[in-house]
Amino acid sequence: SADIVNSLCEALKAISVSTELIEEELKPHLDTVLAALLEKKKDAAIDVAKSGILPILAQALQRKSSLSCQVALVVAEMAREGRTLEYYKTGNGKKNDPLCSCSAVIMIYSAREALAQLDVADVLIFQLKQAPDAERRHVILEILGSLGESDTLKLQFAESGVPEALSEMIRSLQGGSDPHDLCSIKIASNLMVSLLLGDESMQKCFGEGSGLVYQDVLSWLQSSNTQLQLSGALAIANFARNDSNCVKMLDLGVVPHILTLLEQHVDEGDVSVQHAGLSALRNLAIPATNKVRMLEDGVTDRIKTLLRSDMPPVQFKLLGTLRMMVDGHEEAALVLGRDADLLDRIMEWCEAKDHAGVRGEASRLLAALIRHSQNSEVVREVARANGIRHLVSMASSEHVIMQNEALVALAIASAIDIESMKDPFGEADLLPMLKKMLEDPVGAVEVKFSALGLICSLANSSVMKEALNSVNMKESISKLTDHSSSKLASQASSILTVLGDTS
């Protein structure tokens, strides 16, 4: 490491005294500087900034010489070391050299733009293919990663064939056990996933499902390398960001591959892979036509094997995936809502002590089963499993969306089977809670509206009507009849009429 520091000093000195940009002379010195930056040598970026070579580098960038690419990479690396910028902002730079400090700031911000116009991708792909060893490969992959954070470059990379080059490299290294090669696979597959975060670059790689990159990603799901499985699942989740891709991928049979992968990891498996696989399934289940087909293909049955997972991130993702499967899909809600084992597991998760996220998702799935099935058998099953109290406590959540989902589910359940509701409602103190909700001066209008909907549903039962009158619910409702929301005011007036009717 002392060698690197010495050679960095020498390289900086050589560049700083060069009066002309003679490419052959500067290239080896720039290589040294880049290597020091990539090695993350302490303060290397600051040393570069202090050396006063930035104006020289700025000239090289403007000239678009063959050094431009290397210079831009040096600057991009310095930009990653945000401290270089701080060094100038705090005035540690040479006070007598405004040009130097100014050019540092301008260069760091313009490096990526400069690279975007330089076809840097072609240079790097060539370098990647020629790389003599893993070390060189890693340097190039690292540079690609650093530059790929820019959306402009993501697209340029996709158009120049960077994803294909990464795919090809991974294919050539697969199956071996050399730790350096495994490391290259990890960096390259992570990089691929991040390139797919750009909408245009993702669409280009998908190529209607016939793109080479998509085909390769699919094969990663079947790899024995956990890192590739993970990147494959994350990539599929990225491809599944629009409905037409989701429908196409279902046609092409991606789902069984994801399910097989999830099943491999159920016991003692990799949590990240399960999490990513479930994310992919959840995204694929967004289009309505896919929900129907996924149910027919037995997806719900197969992902239920994951119910035995004791890992909260997996539980959380599984609940969200099941909720997406039943969203707006009555048949799926019926199938899952009548499944006693599933409901018992959801109940356990509704009480997950240390995981508010799992508790929230479990309650939301419960509400979704009732809302989307609107079925008496499902309501009875949820009541049998002792789930109504969880919906009542969800109704007082701090999240408006969750409050609404719970209140709507409770209103549907009351309209379908008020007999099963009476006891749990009494035990959970539902009515005082509703009264408080209506009187809350800062409560959301839509929550009050849903609360009135539930009260309306309750008022159809003579027993519940008496209970409503005994807590003087009318008083709370009448205060809403002149509410600024006309929708809420008219709903309040019509419910008062129902409650006033003593039949």
Number of H helices, E strands in the chain: 33, 0
Instruction: Name, in order, each residue with C-beta under 8 angstroms of 11's C-beta and a sequence gap of 6 or more.
Output: 28, 29, 30, 32, 33
CA-CA distances (angstroms) from residue 63 to 14, 17, 52?
A: 20, 19, 19
pLDDT tens, position by position, 214-247: 999 999 999 999 999 999 999 999 999 999 999 9
pLDDT tens, position by position, 354-390: 899 999 999 999 999 999 999 999 999 999 999 999 9
Q: Note whether 472 and 433 are within 8 A (CB).
A: no
The string over 156-171, giving b where at least 16 C-beta atoms fall within 10 Å of a residue's C-beta and e elsewhere, is bbbebbbbbbbbbbbe
Q: Which residue has the tokens 């009066």?
A: 19
Alpha carbon distance 251, 471 (integer Å): 56
The confidence band for 94, taking pLDDT boundaries of 50, 70 and 90, is: very low
Burial, 399: exposed, middle or buried (Cβ in 10 Å; 0-12, 13-18, 19+)? exposed
Least confident of 71-80, 265-274, 484-493: 71-80
| Percentage above 90 pLDDT, the chain | 56
**pLDDT for res 79:** 61
The model's pTM is 0.77
> For the chain, percent helix, then strand, then coil, each to nearest 5?
75, 0, 25
User: Does residue 200 register a pLDDT over 60?
Assistant: yes
Give the residue among 248, 184, 183, 190 at the shortest CA–CA distance from 217: 190
The confidence band for 104, taking pLDDT boundaries of 50, 70 and 90, is: very low
**DSSP helix/strand/coil, 473:** helix
| Sign of the alpha-carbon torsion through 470, 475, 478, 484 | negative
Q: Mean pLDDT, to the nearest integer, of 320-347?
A: 94
User: Does residue 37 register a pLDDT over 80?
Assistant: no
